Amino acid sequence: MSMKVEIKGDKLCIEIDLQKPTPSASGKTLVVASTRGNVSTEAIIDGKPVTIGLNAYIYP
């Protein structure tokens, strides 16, 4: 998983690699992108790194 995070003005821009749809843990959805938990990024707000937890999915 590769993720690029940057702050552009007042927006947090996240770019993450898509993956082949795979079943979620519950099996109700198909995951197409995920950080697989919380990830600290290089983006800084108030001197602190932004942490992101992201799941993108589709319904079968």
The three-class DSSP label of residue 55 is strand
pLDDT interval class at 1 (50, 70, 90):
confident
- Quick one: average pLDDT of 21-36? 97
- Average pLDDT, rounded, for the chain: 96
Nearest to 58 by CA among 38, 34, 30, 39: 30
| Alpha-carbon gap, residue 4 to 13, rounded angstroms | 8
pLDDT tens for each residue of 12-27: 999 999 999 999 999 9
Query: How many domains does one find in the chain?
Result: 1
User: 46 is in which domain, residue-wise?
Assistant: 3-58
